[in-house]
Amino acid sequence: MSSAAVQEVWPGSPEPLGATFTAGSDSAAGTNFALWAGGAEAVELCLFDDDDDDDGPHAGETRHPLKELTHGIWHGFLPGVLPGRHYGYRVHGRWDPWTGARWNPAKLLLDPYARAVDGEFRLPPEVYGHVRDWPQQHIADTVRDERDSAPFVPKGVVVADDDDWSDDRRPRTPWPDTVVYELHVRGFTMRHPGVPERLRGTYAGLAHPATVEHLLRLGVTAVELLPVHQFAHEDHLLRRGLRNYWGYNSVGYFAPHASYAAYGTRGQQVGEFKQMVRALHAAGIEVILDVVYNHTAESGELGPMLSLRGIDNRRYYRLQADPRRYADYTGCGNTLHVVQPQALRMITDSLRYWVTEMGVDGFRFDLAAALARTADGVDMLAPFLSVVAQDPVLRRVKLIAEPWDVGPGGYRTGAFPPLWAEWNDRYRDAVRDFWRSALPDVRDLGYRLSGSSDLFGWGGRRPCASVNFVTAHDGFTLRDLVSYDRKHNEANGEGNRDGRDDNRSWNCGAEGETDDEAVLTLRRRQARNLLATLLLSTGVPMLVAGDEMGRTQGGNNNAYCQDNETGWVDWSPPADTGHGSLTDLCARLLALRRAHPALRSRAFFTGRPRGADGVRDLAWFTPGGTEMTEADWYASATTLGMYLSGLDLPDDRHGTPRTHDSLLAVLHAGPRPIRFTLPGPPWAESYALLVNTALEDQSAAPRVRRPAGGRVIVRGRSVQVWRAQTPAS
């Protein structure tokens, strides 16, 4: 221990948790430290000198026992501890893995409420609470390791929370108008030629005007950031010379990931993140965080001791009947015990912090079913969901569930309560199958295109409960979806065993890269079809960064450890794709979506007439121009016509019904051209062609008008969108 004089520790306060810089009593500047460790016997606060060079097991470390204990919270105020100071905790208690007790004061623990983290997580044997290399591995987790971990783990950083958000204007985009763009903070800008090299891969890089300009050009309304909570790399990746790229391995739920900061990691990352949010808000773009509250980087009983395991293992993690073992509903070794009050408080405190102090507008919850688990399984009345529903801060932001986990009964698409939107994997699968001609009929596609009322039409939920997607970070990119029949994950070092085998993809006649122009032409058209289908569907569309530019991962459908050109967005035009035309098509379709309220329905369609002429809000047509019968829905088909009425749609904040354009979308997945009869009166008097995915360049397309009842040629595997001309329009 350092020979520096031990500072006086004042009683301080149990609230708030974490390290809170304050003027203190008697106007003495300092920091209040508060840590919940309800089952511990003692807690030491460990401070590290600013010039700490980790030269020795206790380099620059001073330990301060926290004597005050209030409702399980150990606390104390230290005068003179200023922002930028490194700290951690050592927590004393019993070592009894057979009952789930794993306290080990030899291990320096990260404060779960740390607002910033400095340093990289390394995983040498010293970082494990047990003797990792014990010869008998089946009992290794029961043998306590007495070596000090402090030289090998990052430290928390004291941060001053003094920002004024009064100049920030949240976009508050209504759900029906929302278009989500999923991106990786690092990967999105690492190869962007318009972003200065020193800012690439950082929060500042994402806030750069060149980056924001691309988002505005597309017309997206929200970015969904892959995890930005402080995370650690898994041991099996480090051993193979790889790193966790996606970040689904959280260890600090209040701290922005330090390696994404351009201007420093001694608390500067907090300010840089806030400036990024402000810049995106100024452009009218919301910020949604992909958050991982279902598990942590500490893994199972053979994992490292980084934070929660050493603070109170039994109350933070779900344990099995044998308390040595962890309940694993996540596939990552452990599951947070969200039913326990302190674990639940940590999660909700974290969520509120990111909204109120960091300015974010919503969250996408990874494996959200794990957060709804009680002792009886997944329960939509679980404490977490109930707390969020009544929380005055959280119930007002966007909440998106990945509605499943890997445990029994964990698949719950369509089951989450009102307030929640959900990733709709049923949409993904139906659209992929339609365009590869694998659907037996078009019933499922009809539901998916019109908002999935069969899944979400209950309890007052609306079409915006369905977050529609064709691709996501997890799986093939759009280009790879039409270029590969099989995954090619060899670079991950797991023998190509990782990643999904059921991708519902089609390589269009050749596996991977090819010089066959016919195959490349078909691939480009299929990409346009998938993109058009997504942006014409009712619900909330989610795009994936780079798909609009033909990004490829070389067939890797699980690039979680590819922090390199495989995982990064390539901003240079691919040689074999219509780079500019695909980007332009995406922007054109999003502009079409903004201009036509029929594509952004706020309520589920009824199929009933809206006017005296019998025009329904939604109608379906066969290639012959007749309305589909029940028999048509059950028959094998590759073509579907969808008519969306623009009559009497609410247009303003008063809800006044107004008449807008009606639209007809024709989706044809068959390989050969067909003749499609445009529906006659009362549906329309004539039609004007707006989009035709058979064309590479939409801007060069001739203006086409056809009379109602006329027949048009629809090229094989293409989408046409027509504006219906009616007397009212």
What's the start-to-end Cα distance of the chain, in Å? 80
Quick check: 68 and 12 in contact, CB under 8 A? Answer: yes
Token pair of 101, please? Answer: 């007790």
Catalytic one of 272, 328, 366, 576: 366
Q: Which of 44, 48, 67, 43 is nearest to 58 (CA)?
A: 48
Token pair of 637, please? Answer: 């088909």
Q: Which of 203, 205, 186 is nearest to 194 (CA)?
A: 205
Is 516 a catalytic site residue? Answer: no
Quick check: 245 and 231 in contact, CB under 8 A? Answer: no
> Which residues on adjacent β-strands are paired with residue 79?
30
User: What CA–CA distance (Å, rounded) separates 229 from 222?
Assistant: 19
What is the side-by-side strand order in the sheet with 639-644? 618-621, 639-644, 662-668, 718-725, 686-692, 705-707
Q: Measuring CA to CA, how many Å separate 723 from each of 118, 535, 544, 606, 676?
A: 56, 16, 28, 21, 15
User: What CA–CA distance (Å, rounded) separates 117 from 493?
Assistant: 30
Catalytic one of 235, 402, 422, 661: 402
* Residue 465: CB atoms within 10 Å: 30
Quick check: 189 and 210 in contact, CB under 8 A? Answer: no
E strands in 387-490 = 398-401, 420-424, 466-468
- Output the CA angle 475-479-481, nearest 5 degrees: 45
Q: Measuring CA to CA, how many Å separate 384 from each of 349, 479, 665?
A: 12, 38, 41
Q: What's the Rg (C-alpha) of the chain?
A: 28
Residue position matching structure tokens 């891969």: 201
User: What CA–CA distance (Å, rounded) separates 683 from 616?
Assistant: 9
Is 511 a catalytic site residue? Answer: no
The Cβ-side half-sphere exposure at 710, using a 13 Å CA radius, reads: 16
Quick check: 602 and 462 in contact, CB under 8 A? Answer: yes
Q: Which of 55, 54, 64, 56 is nearest to 5 (CA)?
A: 64
Residue position matching structure tokens 């306590």: 144
Token pair of 693, please? Answer: 């995915």
Largest CA distance in the chain: 91
Catalytic residues: 366, 402
